[in-house]
Each structure stands twice: as C-alpha cells, then as structure tokens.
Structure 1
Amino acid sequence: MEVKASSKSYPVYVGNNTIAQLPELIEKHALHKNVFIVVDENVLGYHLKKIKSLITERMRKVVVVEYVANEKSKNNKSVEEFYDCLIKNEFGRDTLIIAIGGGITGDIAGYVASTFSRGVQFIQVPTTLLAAVDSSVGGKTGINYGKTKNLIGTFYQPEFVLVDTSFLKTLKEEEIVCGLGEIIKYAYLGDDKLYLTFRSELKQIMKLSPKPTTKMIETCINMKASVVQADEMEGGLRKILNLGHTFAHAIEVEQDHKIKHGQAVIIGLVCALYLSHFKGIMKDEKLVKYISLPLFLQDKITLDKCNVENIYKVMLRDKKGRDGKTKFVLLSEPGIL
C-alpha cells in the first residue's frame, strides 16, 4: 500500500513478523545509519528480543530510548529529554528516528523528528491496533499542552510505516477495544456495505483472528490514505476523520486521562450519532440501526461521573474550532456526512 500525500509518498507494509525486515527496508530506502529508536516500555518488556534483533552492523550508531507512554508524559518535558539525549549522543541532521509503540509513542517521536535539526528521517512501527489502523498513517504528530490534547504539533510524513501484527498478540483487551473505536469510525466513513462488513467481523477482530484483522487494518489504512492524498493538511475533507473526536478529546481531558483515547472515541461516536439525530440529520430508525455497533462495546468501558460544563469548556478550546465555535462531524448514514 502507498500513501500519496502532497508533501511525500511512502509505502505502508503490513504483515506478520515483518519487524525482522526493518533493517533490510532501511537499506532498501537508503535511509540514514545513525538510528535513534524510541520504544514504548511495554513493547520493550514483551518484545526485547525482537527489538535487539533490529540492531545490525550496517548501522553506524544506535541509541534505544525506553519511553513511558501515556497522555501525561506526552508533553514538552519529554520532548526536551529526547532532544537532550540526541544532542548528548551527537546526533545531527543525518539521523533516523524510529518509533516503536502505540499512538502516543508515534505522535511524540514524530514531533521530535519533525523539529530536531529542522527535520530528520522518521519511521513508524505501530504496535497497537489503534496505531496500526489510524494514527501511524497520515503524518500528524503532536504533544499535549496544558489541558488540551495535541495542541502543539506538525504535519510530518514518515519514510514508511511497518505494521507487524505479531505485536498485537500481547495487547490487553482494553487496547484492542481502543483499536475497535477507530475501526468503528471508519465503518461510518464508508458505505452501508462496508458498515455491515465491519459489524459482522467485529467479534473476530476482538479475538484478533489473523485474516479478518489484517484485512481490516489494510481497509482502514487505504481509507485514510485516500483522504490524506486529497487533503494532507486538513483544510477540508480530512476533517471527516475527526468523527467523534471533538467529544472524545474533551472527555479524555475532563476525566484526567483515566480513560484511554480509543475508549473515549467510542463514547464520542455515540455522542456524534445522538447529536446528528438531535439536529435532524439522522432519522430515528437510522439511529437505532447504527448506534448498535459502538454499544456492542459498552460493557468494556468504565466512565467516571462527568462534569458536563467542563466538557463544554474543553470543547471550546478544541483546535478544530473556528470563530469561537465548536465544530462537529455529523452524519445521516455511513458515507453521508
């Protein structure tokens, strides 16, 4: 698969145990040999042998940094620590940064890559279902600032994305649910046929059945790639990828990040459907039909009591807002937004 963004085109490799191909792919793409690897601490704990196998004699210099990935560490302090490590180890513009982890790891490592020495080479290796189907593709990088998610960031495309489905085997159930949140979003962005396909395969993906899971990852990546190709900088069409996210980001902040992003997306999608119905965009029977998909996962999510007024205040700070107004993506049925 290939992402043809206006700033850069790059491939996305998807398969099982493909991580072993990483050194070869670095050679194939003639990338820099000074390698700075940012790896999620959980990935390092479960897959230390795999990570060590990536270091080869062909690499001139390799530094592996263990990152404690969570929304509270996705901040400028962590960015400065990465900068300090890069400078201490005498990395320059001929640096290749590799992110191995979930969406948070990819976001912050991508941001560091886009700003260090005014931009160095970058590779995404997503290890969660959410990162595989969504955040690793498209070039969005960023960190949280204050109580606003992803307020500071860049659009910066990687050299390539490498999805290895073997990493998914060590995910906890809540991480699989998080990935399903983004998958359900794509179910609404496609047509009714695709929605029904997603719905019929949801239980299999929940169990990470190899064939349907790989197929679903590829479908979501292709959908996102087509949107990014048309609107890389989110000037118009790409905003549809924010379906449910205005609610989700506000809920995450209001809950002090006690709820994970993908879980918040599921709640956000339910809110978006109800708002679509409230505004007269979605008919009664359509609401009943389409809301059943995220509600299938309702017993997998625990939400503390919310302060609705605080959620409204957070949504007013949402970076997608314009002229002091909060913007939402709404729909009448799958594919019609």
Structure 2
Amino acid sequence: MSLGRFLVKRTLQGVLVVWGVITVVFVLRVISPGDPVTFIAPLDASPELKRRIASDLGLDQPLYVQYGEYLAGLVQGDMGYSYRRGLPASEIVFGRVPATVELAVASSLVAMVLSIPLGVVAATRRHEPADYGATLFSLLGISTPNFWLGIMLILVLSVQFDLFPTSTRPVGFADAFGQLVWVRFEGGLSVGAPLDVGAFVETLRTWLWYIALPATTLGTYFTALITRLTRSGMLDELGKEYVDAARAKGLPETLVRYRHALRNTLIPIITVLGLQLGTLIGGAVITEAVFAWPGLGTLLIESINVRDWPIIQGSLIVIGTSFVVLNTAVDALYAYLNPQVGYE
C-alpha cells in the first residue's frame, strides 16, 4: 500500500473515530447530572425565565434535533456558544490550545533529551553504576505524583531560591517568533532592514523561564518511561546478529550503537511518544492547575464546574482529534525508520 492510500484510509478511519467521540460526548451531556439552565439562571429565577433560557440555548428541542444541529454546526466549524461567557466555543477552546500544546511539546522535548541518552548509557553499561543510577531515576520518576513534584519545585526553586516564577504564562512561543516576523514584514521594511533580535531573545527567555517548571513536572513520568523503554530496546537490539556482523566489519562502536541499534530501537519509542503526546495534551490538567497554566485542561475543569457544555464538548473533541492525528503520524513514520514496516 502506498503512502497516499494509507493516509486516505487512516483519515477515513479517523473521521469515524472523531464522530464516535462527538457522539459519546453528546450522550454524556444528556445523562450527566446537573442542568445547565440552573447554573446560568439567577437563584431567584422564575420557571418562565428558566424556560426562556432553555429555549434560547436550544435545550428544549428533542435530542435528535439537538444532535443533528450540533453535527451540522461542527461541519461548518461552529461548536456553539459558551453558556457562561456568551462567546463562540471554538474561539475560547482554540484560544487555549496553544498553551497546552506548548506545554506538551516542551515536556516531550525535555523527556526525549534526557531519556534516550540515559537509556543508551544504561544499556551499554549494564550492571554498572550508570545503569543502576538510570534505573533508580526511572523508578523515582514513575513513582512520583505530578502534583506533588510541581508543588515541591515551586516551594524550593520558586519560593526558597526565587529562580523561577510560581505560575501563569505572560507570553507564548508564538509571541517570541512573532517578534522576528513582525519586524521583517511590517511597515514595508526593506529586505536588508535589521531585525529586532533583542526583543526576540527577551521574549523567548521569558517564555522559557515560565515554562521550565511546568514542563519538567509534566515530563518527569514521560522521561522515566522512555528511559526504561530505550534501555530494554537497546539491550534487545545489541544482542542481535546484525550488530555482531557490523562489529565484525570493523565499524566503530559509536556507529554501531547509534546508527544501527538505536535507529531500530526508535520504532517503539516513537509509538509511545505519539501516544504520550496525545495524553499530555489531554491529561495536563493537574500540572496546569498547579502552575495556573491557561491551557485546555484548566478550561475543561472550569467548564465542568459550571456545566458549560459547548466548551466541554469542544475541548474533548479537540483532544480526541489530536489523538487521531498523532497516531496517524506515528504510523506514517514507521516506514521511514524501518522500510520493512509497510503501510498495511
């Protein structure tokens, strides 16, 4: 099967999965306790006012009508309007996505930079102090709750030593990148006009300063998981015949480890990376709450507390779609890393 046919097939499957997510979320709205009208209406609201609010929100329609109208709106990019804010749900949800994506990607980068070298060192120095240290680090990382680690980092590095801020996100990565793009194209500047590199560096430094602790907190478990996976995969690959053949040809040990063994080890690592990245996007609620990070997880919790279902549905749809897209991308990368893996 060619790459094009594979992508078409997986896209159609992904559409069905997303449709299933939409349907499940809609059913959850129906069966969940609590009436959105009760949270919206004043405490002394009359029954007539409550009926009017329900009519304005379309909650007095039959369920199949509500479901059909919601699907029709989603096809057009309309997720409805927030019950509490009165703004388009798509505008609110997608406004929070960049913060969550930044946190998920940053924590993944932290995990990959630390875990793969640790796993390789642990595998190549088996039963040595380096191996024991990496194993102990993995055990601690998997066993440490994110919320406790986040609080400890705040108390020690932020409160005690004043090295990092405790919370919030004053700037995003797009703000730093926008410094260069804005100066280059705004106001009809010539091609050779100097760029405001100082503003870019300052904005990027601020972003890194604020995201360091949340990314470390969220990526600790991921780091430990990838370290253990890299170690076990490298041990398996280093014991195979093609590695012995490469060494017999006189190839340098570094080339054998990183060009051959590590490349084959990356296949299961990329699988876990794709799945965990989707999990980080949808499961960063605790970390976002600890650091007051204005992401999708915080928005979801806030909306659940007030039964703002358009926001809840939109958030869950975005999270489900991210899983589908990431899984498709991971499968497509298989053939690049290992040509023996087809697109079947």
TM over 0.5: no
TM-score category of the 2 structures, normalised to the smaller one: under 0.3
Normalising to structure 1: TM-score of the pair? 0.22
Q: Greater share of helix residues, 1 or 2?
A: 2
Normalising to structure 2: TM-score of the pair? 0.22
Structure number with greater CO (CA < 8 Å, separation at least 6) is 2
User: Which structure: larger Rg?
Assistant: 2
Q: Greater share of strand residues, 1 or 2?
A: 1
